[in-house]
Structure 1
């Protein structure tokens, strides 16, 4: 059996959680391969919504095993809160029975968040617009080989090692004349969360995943953030701290590229972005605000209003190229319903007179060339067969299929769990 992958193709918030929730029952294992509590996948159950931050989206499926992989960074305090909230949301969920955590996943320590806040607010550093969850600090200490991993929590000197790091970080932060919470309080909260973490299975998940694949099991790799936020290939420096591509799924889970099957790429019918960074098609008018409100474009994790722009094909082609997407899932088409026209950026005109049809750099001096297309009327949220879609929407989808060279196989028609149709 192959490992299939689901990832975002823009700047996050494309609706990955909904699609994963739709297909995860067809898999034996869902596995998170990157990121941490800095992103959220929204899942609907019984008319209510919950945001999963570190937990894989298959956690609701009783027969699906869920893996938090090696490429992630895990905040024990955040995970504890997430699981307790999950139990209140749905008392039938039993993460102790269907969650496995990689021993090699790195820990997010309490001072990582404080360092994140310090760097975001200090004028000596570039302001990125992060969620201030300590993700970058955990990954940077991983690269510096100064961090602790999940497997270390069973070491007899674990507490001493954590306290040494916390005290070191406090000395650094205190030297910058900033107000700090009590070290004793954040230490106590952290170690209580570590005791909670010990209730869950912890193993070498790369061995587990390769074994189940050899046994014919089906694995779905789940990415957080999106391709244009990739640490190497995204719009640097306004990116996340991990690899968000299909290649990142392989390294983050320890599975060979030879074992990858389908790669599902999720994209909105328009673009959104949170935080700073290049955004050539951004709308600064009343229409942008209208789309934001209609599409409920506010961060599922932070609540921050998302920036709004027209669909950017040069960036989308680039994301498809670097991720090797085999199927595209398009979301939020319902948000554009009722508009007389919608626009799509087909290419950039560069300052030197050249044209860029595929680009991951999004140069600030590039002029986005927009194609205006006829909008579609009516409510599409109840449509269950692609044959019944408005003709203008069919033309829009046909245009995208031709431009992207990869088929759109699913279309989300509304925010509800079942408001998604398979394209004929």
Structure 2
């Protein structure tokens, strides 16, 4: 029996991880966010009601589940409290059910101002960040100047360090970016009320998790973003600032690799990407309209329209390798309903050398074109299907082809936005 399950994205994020975490967490004791910040949005639909979570782990909609925001997550106290209040309005109460690592770095207003100022300065060369301060917060962590959640417990030390950090940021914002200066007293004033709200949530979450492992509790580790937004393994520099591949679980929680039993990779039945960066299988015109409209492909965090394309099996195979995936979950299969033809990118070709290449380096992306294999589409509706026998033959063939190309089994299929729109081929806690 599997006890500790990692759920992560295999593409550029927006794969539908939140729904799958929510579904699997019904049988879990703990759900753990291990990287990213409130730049990630996980959308859940329960009884036709949509709830979007950015920091709170997706499994918290189940009353018996405890949420952990681990040390690998950068936390905006203001956004966290806003999310808690949103849940309370929906009659979901998380008192004594959420714990935050004392080592989680804080996101404060100067991070946001710097993020926005940089993107504005870059102009047409902007990276397409969410403007929520994620990158600058991670920079502070690596530069060893970050304020962390645990620092909120010492107001005097917090005030002294905050003043110094704001001075550091103001020097850049004013002199290089021609931005108005930030008043550290205002940041401190706004920050202090949040401490009372989250004070009792601040814990040594690594210790909590190791005790849970010792007690043989079921744990779900919830990834944010996707594998190719990983700072090390993604399409750099168009990436996020954390490790969204499986290594982020280990560094972001303090749980060792021997305690990870099963790694589930989430992939859409097609591909999407938000913002700039390489996207070999991108489509336009009527196919883009089909994916965008039927798949509701607009960012849950930014509202930006997502770029759409065919499933990229080259990158998917890469994701299988770098994450040691146990199996795949295919989401949004129903979005393919009604297409006459469906394509999978099975290789890349360099347009200069005409060579077939496995995976491009940073300078090759603009020189590659996808090589596709075509599959027949289907007219029968798959939306809401609950069993494999409910799917048309062509959908079976498409899923089997993904398994063959990636050499990885498909254990779960999502056939719609509702929590119950699931085909469970194997129970991931049992297989």
Q: CA deviation at 1:372?
A: 1.5
5+ long unaligned stretches in structure 1:
none
Distance 2:100 2:389 in 1: 43
Cα contact 1:119–1:125 (8 A) shared by 2: no
Residue equivalent to 1:128: 127
The yes-or-no answer on 1:403 pairing with 2:402 is no
Equivalent-residue separation in structure 2 for 1:356 and 1:196 (angstroms): 53
* Stretch deviating more after TM superposition (358-367 or 279-288): 358-367
1:24 aligned onto 2:28: no
Q: Do residues 73 (structure 1) and 83 (structure 2) align?
A: no
Look up the match of 1:151.
150
1: CA distance, partners of 2:36 / 2:13: 12
| Cα distance in structure 2, aligned partners of 1:13 and 1:268 | 8
Aligned pairs for 1:366-381 (under 5 A) are 366-381=368-383
Which ranges of structure 2 fall in alignment gaps of 5 or more residues? 427-431
Q: Deviations over 1:228-275 (max 9, x none)?
A: 110000000000000011121111110110111110100001100001
Provide, for residues 266-291 of structure 1, a one-character-per-residue CA deviation record: whole Å limited to 9, x for no partner: 00011000011000111122221221
1:204 Cα deviation (Å)? 1.4
Using the TM superposition, give the Cα deviation of residue 194 of structure 1 relative to its aligned residue in structure 2, in angstroms.
3.2
User: Partner of 2:213 in structure 1?
Assistant: 213
Corresponding residue for residue 429 of structure 2: none
Q: Which residue of 2 aligns with 1:259?
A: 259
Counterpart of 2:374 in 1: which secondary structure? strand
| 1:152-231 matched pairs, under 5 angstroms | 152-155=151-154, 156-175=156-175, 176-179=177-180, 185-198=186-199, 200-231=200-231
- Secondary structure of 1:344's partner? strand
Residues 85-118 of structure 1, C-alpha deviations (whole Å, 9 max, x = no match)? 1111x22x22221001101111111100000001
Give the CA deviation at 1:58: 1.4
The structural deviation recorded for 1:183 is 5.8
Question: What is the CA–CA distance in structure 2 between the aligned matches of 1:217 and 1:164, rounded to whole Å?
Answer: 43
**Secondary structure in 2 matching 1:378:** coil
Worse overlay, 184-193 or 17-26: 184-193
Indicate the larger mover: 117-126 or 51-60.
117-126
CA contact (8 A) 1:6 1:16 kept: yes
What are the within-5 Å matches in structure 2 for residues 63-142 of structure 1? 63-88=64-89, 90-91=90-91, 93-123=92-122, 126-142=125-141
Q: Which residue of 2 aligns with 1:8?
A: 9
Moved more, 164-173 or 94-103: 164-173
- Counterpart CA distance in 2 for 1:179 and 1:375 is 55
Aligned counterparts of 2:46 and 2:185: Cα–Cα separation in 1? 38
Choose which of 347, 363, 366 in structure 2 pairs with 1:364: 366
What is the distance in 2 between the residues matched to 1:269 and 1:182?
Answer: 48
Would you say 1:417 and 2:419 are equivalent positions?
A: yes
Q: Is the 8 A contact 1:72 1:106 kept in 2?
A: yes
Q: Aligned equivalents of 2:338 and 2:184: distance in 1?
A: 54
Q: CA deviation at 1:9?
A: 0.3
Cα distance in 2 for partners of 1:253, 1:389 equals 39
Aligned length: 421
SS state at 1:26 partner: coil
Quote the Cα distance in structure 2 between the aligned partners of 1:414 and 1:25: 18
Give per-residue Cα distances to partners, 1:381-404, cap 9 Å, x unaligned.
132210121011111111111001
TM-score, normalisation: structure 2 = 0.93
Partner of 1:386: 388
Equivalent in the alignment of 2:60: 59
